[in-house]
Structure 1
């Protein structure tokens, strides 16, 4: 895995209040639906590479038992410090802690890894009770930009690439689809025009919070166009593990 985010990358990606950005709101809403779809009982969830805890905070507010682990010395968001292990990798967690999880989240993590099959096999070996892994990744190689280069991405994924990864891992692929269809065309236009993407995530303040909330619902509704086979800027995949 590439080196952890630099301080400037954290400041640009995770400013205070970024949890109110439409991108995080829409992705977290999708994740909540997926987690509840997987199990009738409450799962114990570990968010691997959780950053400052945007998703941990959201899921806990949805009464989902989610803990985060982050290898960098990130500063967790207020009120969730006790639910975030910072300055630790997953293998640094105690065996008792690792044993309690049944679901792992790797949210926009895998694209930072040169050999994801090796990384994921080694990771799962540490968690004997995990039955499912949910992964999100940036999608569509044609959207490659300065943003990917700045944040140290190895690749942007396609659905076929995720299918190939499932075969390499010998994991059952439960779902695999594009989401964030609405932002795809603007992102494609930026690339076509030779413009650069902003690498800074702006946290909404004041009335813009309401605007971002509205956009997040519009983007969420747009996700249903995946049934038409339309591309999106991200992919969501869920793997089921068959363990002896």
Structure 2
């Protein structure tokens, strides 16, 4: 992976215990509630935690990521009980191709890593069947761009307006949900990434009582964000449905 560094790898290693990421994953699972057996592409699957949750919910997962290290980690961590439901391979959105389309395509914290995010978003939408789901998450608020973004190789952070414009530019997608997530963490992210220029608490959490307490506090704060949409947040979550036509999207 180009510009791969230890901070990126540590960020993935901590993902399983990352209350922030896992609470966001629960929001995504809610979009698919009541359905099972969906064929899902997890583009930029990282170390596989979301793929495992989706597979455990009864879906079939194809996970791709351009980083060999991430795919190796996903394959290593894949529970034996889910091996028939998950497949992982080293690939990028730009180079990936399949003759069959997917019922759902998910890209969590991926588009900010890609210079031409519109082309990538169009590619994702083109891989979804008519009536299928397109789910995207990205880091929010350009004012928070700092140490964390630089080390993870982000090109940008988004606002609700810019992400909405991007997905409308894709064409053929009916908007179901576009919301901020992580309102309660804005001060923490600003202090760590902009002021102190240190890793977020999760990426440097480690183990032990201190880590447990941090996760407990974060979990309590994020329970609020999971169920109540606020006008700002540290992330944005988009959910849309693929239409047959390429008409302008309806918000």
How does the TM-score come out when normalised to structure 1?
A: 0.81
Specify every segment of 5 or more residues in structure 2 that has no aligned partner in the other structure, as ranges: 246-251
Whether contact under 8 Å (1:20, 1:209) holds in the other structure is no
Question: What does residue 176 of structure 2 align with?
Answer: 174
Question: What does residue 39 of structure 2 align with?
Answer: 44
Question: What does residue 78 of structure 1 align with?
Answer: 77
Paired with 2:12 and 2:87, the residues of 1 have a C-alpha distance of: 15
Paired with 1:217 and 1:151, the residues of 2 have a C-alpha distance of: 26
The within-5 A match list for 1:21-100 is 21-36=18-33, 40-73=35-68, 74=70, 75=72, 76=74, 77-80=76-79, 82=83, 83-90=86-93, 91-92=95-96, 94-95=98-99, 98-99=100-101
Question: How far off its partner does 1:141 sit?
Answer: 0.8
Paired with 2:89 and 2:3, the residues of 1 have a C-alpha distance of: 13
Instruction: Give the aligned length.
Output: 233
Question: How far off its partner does 1:213 sit?
Answer: 5.3
| 1:18 corresponds to which of 11, 15, 26 | 15
Question: How far off its partner does 1:84 sit?
Answer: 3.6
Question: What does residue 119 of structure 2 align with?
Answer: 118
Q: 1:93 to 1:186 in 2, by over 3 A?
A: same
CA distances 1:63-91 after superposition (whole Å, capped 9, x unpaired): 34333111221322423584242322355
Q: 1:188 to 1:10 in 2, by over 3 A?
A: closer
Q: 1:137 to 1:63 in 2, by over 3 A?
A: same
1:201 and 2:203 correspond: yes
Question: How far off its partner does 1:4 sit?
Answer: 4.5
Whether contact under 8 Å (1:19, 1:54) holds in the other structure is yes
How does the TM-score come out when normalised to structure 2?
A: 0.79
User: Over aligned residues, Cα RMSD in angstroms?
Assistant: 2.8
Q: 1:125 to 1:31 in 2, by over 3 A?
A: closer
